[in-house]
Amino acid sequence: MSKISQSGNNINRELWKANNEKVVLIMDKRKYESKTLIAEYHSLCKLEDCRFSESVYELKGGSKIIEYDGNGLSIYGTCIAFGKHVGRKGVYSISDNDYALWKELRKESKNSFFVDWEEERNEYFEEVVQEEYNKQISLEHSNILESISYDDLPF
């Protein structure tokens, strides 16, 4: 059994162990206020009840989390009674090595939609840098041609 409460900038989760010992986990919610989406995965299974989605975020400190949202019969679903399944939403942390494996598995998955926003962002920046470099070279080339008179040209 667990209970989640909020006090100030903290989110408290109270858990009770089997021996009725109370454990309180405190999470500073400011830590999660600044997160950057780095990858998304959506299962496009034909059965609506089997679909789920995952979003990977990088937090301020460099750690990564996965937010998931799964329907009743998906890998995140839970059976509560015979024939009754409920979907779940949640968050869990993931290491860099596990993230690399997750990314490779999700890229290869069929009947799904996967976007690696890190890769997209890096490609965009490479294009912008290459464009700026080309503009600078072109400008320098134009300046050199303007500084040379027609008499200095070999042809």
Q: What are the residue boundaries of the structural domains of the chain, listed by start?
A: 1-31, 34-123
Sign of CA dihedral 130, 136, 140, 143: positive
pLDDT at 18 > cutoff 50: no
- pLDDT at 4 (0 to 100): 43
pLDDT at 71 > cutoff 70: yes
pTM: 0.58
CA distance 56 to 58: 7
pLDDT at 48 > cutoff 80: yes
Q: Which amino acid is at 108?
A: E
Average pLDDT over residues 102-112: 86
Q: Which amino acid is at 14?
A: E
Question: What is the rounded average pLDDT for all residues in the chain?
Answer: 76
Q: Which of 73, 37, 71 is nearest to 55 (CA)?
A: 37
CA distance 50 to 109: 15
